[in-house]
A and B are shown apart, each in its own frame.
Chain A
Amino acid sequence: GEDVEQSLFLSVREGDSSVINCTYTDSSSTYLYWYKQEPGAGLQLLTYIFSNMDMKQDQRLTVLLNKKDKHLSLRIADTQTGDSAIYFCAEKAANDYKLSFGAGTTVTVRA
Chain B
Amino acid sequence: EAGVAQSPRYKIIEKRQSVAFWCNPISGHATLYWYQQILGQGPKLLIQFQNNGVVDDSQLPKDRFSAERLKGVDSTLKIQPAKLEDSAVYLCASSSNDNEQFFGPGTRLTVL
Mark A residues whose CB is within 8 Å of B.
1, 4, 31, 35, 40-45, 48, 88, 90, 92, 97-99, 101-104
Contacts and interface: CB of A to CB of B under 8 A. Distances in A.
A103 B102 contact: no
Interface residues of B, number: 25
A97 B44 contact: no
Contact of A97 (B42, B55, B91): B55
A98 B103 CA distance: 13
Contact of A104 (B42, B45, B48, B108): B42
Contacts of A92: 98
B105 A88 contact: no
Residue of B43, B98, B102, B104 contacting most chain A CB atoms (<10 Å):
B43
A42 B33 CA distance: 13
Given A42-B4, A42-B104, A42-B105, A99 B99 contact: no
Interface of B: 4, 6, 31, 33, 40-45, 48, 55-56, 91, 93, 98-106, 108
Q: Which 7 A-B pairs have the closest CB atoms?
A: A101-B42, A42-B103, A43-B103, A98-B45, A42-B105, A42-B106, A42-B104
A98 B31 CA distance: 11
Contacts, number: 53
B91 to A, nearest CB: 6
B91 A42 contact: yes
Given A41-B105, A98-B56, A31 B42 contact: no
B100 A101 contact: no
Given A97-B31, A98-B56, A45 B44 contact: no
Contacts of B4: 42
Contacts of B99: 31, 48
Contact of B41 (A44, A48, A103): A103
Given A45-B102, A97-B55, 8 more contacts: A41-B105, A42-B6, A97-B56, A97-B98, A98-B33, A99-B43, A103-B40, A104-B40
